[in-house]
Amino acid sequence: MVPLLLVLLLALVLFGAGFAMKALWWVAVIVLAVWLLGFLVRPAGTGGRRGRWYRW
């Protein structure tokens, strides 16, 4: 009984980790797209010169 519960628990943990990894990949792709768009569409900075869209 205990080995069966351990196997089921392991399967549940691996399934959860796989889902989390896939979700993190989607988040990384979205962040990369926003970051690249920031280089293409940069707002005007102070003094009329073009600046970076982020502050770091």
The amino acid at residue 30 is I
> Is this structure's pTM higher than 0.85?
no
**41: DSSP letter:** S
- Tens digits of residue pLDDT in 1-52: 888 888 888 888 888 888 888 888 899 999 988 888 877 776 555 554 555 5
DSSP alpha helix (H) spans, 1-56: 2-40
